[in-house]
């Protein structure tokens, strides 16, 4: 018999004390527009314990207290002017759902993929009369028979990037544990980021192809990663990161799997944080929790990537990352006609996001850090993507959550990656 999750009706968790409200409207930064960030990001934190009593109340209290310094999150997204969403500081609060599963986490394989509980059962939704696109963040806490819990979060990419959302969730954990205030003071200041001149769009709008991507999960061991790091150091005298190594493996293996013509271009787009480049623009870079990303784009032909070694591709990635600061500063100051956010949306493009270091794995509501965090945006079919996750404890290395090829290329991609894993 399939597991059953029983949900309570969604309720609002408002800030624990008064916050600036009424007519206060806060603008968003220029980066959300360039990045086409009007999406909801969904993820699950899995805790092997915490549900033995008081967990739901502690997390609810954590949200209520965190929403005082993070008062914009208790508001709503409004769009008085088409194409110009803002945050109305209504003070309504976040939608919160309590749920119980009639099984233990072991009964559903610790929520490993393929999921034995439908994703919608683990994620919060507002009441049917509420517009989903107006919500900034929602939460659901599901308690399992074993005392484990799953915290499902949906947040608006208009308001947060991944690092910013993790900063907020860490504050929720700190408040749930009874700390007097967040360890990092939040900074809004979206209007402090310059608004680059809009680049005129020539010709018709880009065409969007709906692909039929399949989801796969592959583990890359720390032994394999360290071996490649050592090979790179021996060949170049330089160091490289875990991210560089795993990205080189994926770029090469995917190019081989999709088998485009030799002269076809294969694009790699890396979502990189640019917080370190906003000193002098923001009052405090450390506490900023808005969108702060710029794509590092690498383009080569299929033949070039096929012929290149992993070491050579690592060097390409490092060179592209080093050029980030110049490209981003040039873009934000209006000095470039090239907008890297507008990457090709064809089968030759894959976008990467590293969730292993964002901070969601470091959230502690009072019973330790989660054993596993994973994303649930499995319905995106416009652009191929891969997300890097920490594997469930105590495993080491990187877990690749892949949604970047169609069924006919999936087996070959996994086989090629496993040769290197």
Q: What are phi and psi of 395, to 5 degrees?
A: -60, 155
3-state DSSP assignment of residue 124: coil
- Cβ atoms of residues 107 and 3 within 8 Å: yes
> Measuring CA to CA, which residue among 298, 303, 211 is closest to residue 260?
303
Q: Are β-strands 149-156 and 265-273 bridged in parallel, bridged antiparallel, or unpaired? A: unpaired
Listed in sequence order, the residues at least 6 apart from 280 whose beta carbon sits closer than 8 Å to its beta carbon are: none
**Residue 204, burial from CB neighbour count under 10 angstroms (0-12, 13-18, 19+):** exposed
Residue 67: half-sphere exposure toward Cβ, Cα within 13 Å = 29
Query: Cα separations (Å) of 22 from 94, 369, 370?
Result: 17, 37, 37
Listed in sequence order, the residues at least 6 apart from 278 whose beta carbon sits closer than 8 Å to its beta carbon are: 193, 285, 288, 292
Distance CA 377, CA 154 (A): 10
Position of tokens 């508001």? 75
Give the single-character DSSP code of 287. Answer: T
Q: What are phi and psi of 83, to 5 degrees?
A: 85, 0
DSSP 156-190: ETTT--HHHHHHHHHHHHHHHTT-SS-SS--B--G
Position of tokens 């490092």? 318
**Residue 394, burial from CB neighbour count under 10 angstroms (0-12, 13-18, 19+):** exposed
Q: List, by residue number, the catalytic residues.
A: 157, 364
Q: Which helix (H) or strand (E) holds 275?
A: none
Distance CA 161, CA 342 (A): 18
């Amino acid at each position: 018999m399939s597991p059953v999750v029983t949900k309570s009706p969604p309720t609002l968790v408002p800030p624990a004390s008064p916050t600036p409200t009424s007519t206060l409207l806060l603008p968003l930064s220029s980066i959300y527009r360039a990045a086409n960030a009007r999406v909801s990001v969904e993820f699950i934190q899995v805790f092997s314990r915490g549900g033995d009593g008081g967990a739901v109340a502690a997390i609810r209290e954590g949200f209520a207290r965190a929403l005082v310094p993070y008062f914009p999150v208790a508001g709503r997204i409004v769009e008085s002017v088409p194409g110009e969403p803002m945050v109305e500081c209504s003070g309504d609060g976040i939608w919160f759902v309590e749920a119980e599963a009639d099984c233990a986490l072991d009964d559903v394989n610790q929520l490993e993929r393929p999921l034995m509980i439908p994703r919608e059962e683990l994620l919060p939704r507002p009441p049917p009369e509420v517009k989903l696109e107006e919500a900034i963040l929602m939460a659901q806490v599901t308690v399992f028979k074993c005392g484990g819990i799953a915290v499902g979060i949906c947040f608006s990419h208009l308001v947060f990037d991944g690092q910013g959302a993790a900063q907020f969730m860490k504050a929720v954990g700190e408040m749930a544990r009874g700390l007097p205030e967040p360890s990092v003071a939040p900074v809004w200041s979206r209007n402090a980021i310059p608004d680059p001149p809009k680049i005129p769009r020539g010709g018709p709008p880009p065409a969007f192809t709906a692909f039929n991507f399949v989801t796969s999960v592959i583990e890359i061991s720390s032994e394999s990663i360290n071996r490649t790091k050592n090979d790179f150091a021996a060949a170049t005298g330089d160091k490289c990161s875990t991210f560089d190594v795993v990205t080189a493996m994926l770029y090469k293996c995917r190019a081989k799997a999709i088998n485009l013509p030799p002269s076809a271009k294969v694009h790699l787009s890396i979502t990189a944080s640019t917080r370190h480049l906003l000193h002098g623009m923001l009052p405090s870079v450390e506490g900023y929790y808005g969108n702060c990303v710029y794509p590092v784009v690498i383009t080569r032909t299929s033949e070039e990537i096929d012929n290149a070694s992993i070491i050579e591709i690592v060097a390409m990635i490092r060179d592209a990352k080093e050029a980030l600061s110049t490209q981003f500063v040039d873009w934000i100051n209006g000095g470039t006609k090239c907008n890297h956010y507008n990457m090709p949306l064809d089968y030759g493009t894959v976008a990467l996001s590293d969730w292993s270091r964002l901070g969601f794995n470091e959230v502690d509501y009072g019973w330790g850090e989660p054993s596993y965090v994973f994303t649930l945006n499995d319905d995106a079919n416009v652009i191929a993507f891969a997300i890097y996750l920490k594997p469930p404890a105590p495993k080491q290395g990187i877990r690749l959550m892949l949604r970047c090829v169609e069924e006919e290329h999936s087996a070959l991609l996994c086989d090629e990656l496993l040769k290197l894993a």
